[in-house]
A and B are shown apart, each in its own frame.
Chain A
């Protein structure tokens, strides 16, 4: 099947087409493709809306009161008490932090922040000021955007304060349904591990959002078949 912009159909489609027997290829051939001219016109029609949307969002961010961005997060929890040990917090489905009926298994491995242990705070660069949510928001990076089937996606984070983020994984083209969950991040540095055992191979949109709605991470990731 021909898919626009490298789209991938749900792998199960081929099985369903096979059920049509000799008619499967004919049905496949009947699929319409958008013309390049139409896509160019569509781009031109939507771009003004997108530009307005971006401008509105920037204006909204600029108007936010200082305490919104500086006192991140709204749902602060106490600093980790135990010093010098790695705390593994395993969040299981139904533990109370999940916000969806799905069960995106996210594990947080963290080391307490230097502040919590009486040490000096790590110096923050200019990145801290420019990142979404302001300097008090966590900095999160995807370690690898492609993983083998069954391997977890790993994200590295540095959180100046304890708080929570929303992690969602949405299939871009077919595959398992989206799952979103709220994850509590202790202050300090650590790793988020998103298990993929229950997910189909394919491309996913990985989004980590702050409680104020800003995205800390937006990445297209892939589970290899």
Chain B
């Protein structure tokens, strides 16, 4: 079965680098680490391109699976899953007073995300940072698309409730 040739992998890289970075950054909450993990993921993907079997899924979902494993390796290396370092660039701080409320609301969302289980945060990152469809999430997590859809719905509901409670 044809594997991914170099030219096709380059296309995949150009089309998904931003989404992969966003997904990894969503999992790690550390831009610097996310940059390194994104690079490692593409290097791993390139080395593994000969083993890719397109009968088992789309190249994009396959690449997200590699990035997910690289991010999980990084989290394991740190010896923690949920303890997050402070943001190198504080996205919640706001200068002008009119932005203060928005800043506070983002802080609420960040704290609510911290309350989620690791797997739930992963789903949020795949869906909203990576931009994956339910079918693609299913491929990455090796579950059914129906299951992925249900899980995303549940975690979104849980996140909303957590935000409402913290507000």
Binding site for B on A (CB under 8 A): 1, 3-5, 7-10, 12-13, 16-17, 19-23, 26-34, 38-39, 41-42, 45-46, 49-50, 53-54, 57, 99-100, 166, 168, 170-178, 180, 200, 205, 207, 209, 213-215, 218, 220
Contact = CB atoms under 8 A, between A and B. Distances in A.
Majority-rule SS of B interface residues: helix
B131 A10 contact: yes
24 contacts: A1-B128, A4-B22, A5-B17, A7-B18, A13-B131, A17-B128, A19-B153, A23-B109, A26-B108, A27-B124, A32-B21, A32-B129, A34-B18, A42-B17, A42-B39, A45-B43, A54-B7, A57-B5, A170-B58, A177-B58, A177-B133, A177-B138, A178-B59, A218-B8
A30 B135 contact: no
B96 interface: no
Contact of B17 (A20, A34, A99, A172): A34
A20 B131 contact: no
A46 B5 contact: no
Interface string B135-161: 110110000010000001100110110
Contacts of B22: 4, 31-34
A4 B46 CA distance: 21
Contacts of A46: 13, 39, 42-43, 46
